[in-house]
Amino acid sequence: MQFQVIGHPDYRPGSYIFIPESKPGATNPPHKGVQLYGTNLTTLTTEEIMSWKEINLTWLIEYHRYLDPKDTFFLKNTAFFDKLAGTDELRNQLEAGWTENQIRASWTSDLDKFLVSRKKYLLYSDLKSE
């Protein structure tokens, strides 16, 4: 269930236990063959995810705070994490101990600019965003 479960050998709060193995699309996963403790996201329904109406940063922040910084995905793979996030800003915010609300607030200015610039490309009236 690559990309649907998250975990780490040292993440003891994790109630889900699994052992990563090679599969098409993830041929050499980190911690391959090692028992991991983590979170199974396959139990979430589409309706539940859509009801949030925002990106859920809870797990990202929780794992970052719990794990030893010298051994985490975030510091061992900074270039890859930054590539996934788009910049180094999210990683820097996590390292500085920002809360989910603080991180979201930092997006406000760029989101406002995007909403203005996207209007000229809309084919239909989007009553929810106006």
Domain boundary assignment for the chain: 1-53, 54-120
Cα dist from 47 to 3, 43, 50, 51, 126, whole Å = 19, 12, 5, 6, 21
User: What is the per-residue pLDDT across 48-89, written as a single tens digit (0 to 9) for each?
Assistant: 999 998 889 998 898 888 887 666 666 667 888 899 899 999
The pLDDT mean for the chain works out to 86
> Are 65 and 38 within 8 A, CB to CB?
no
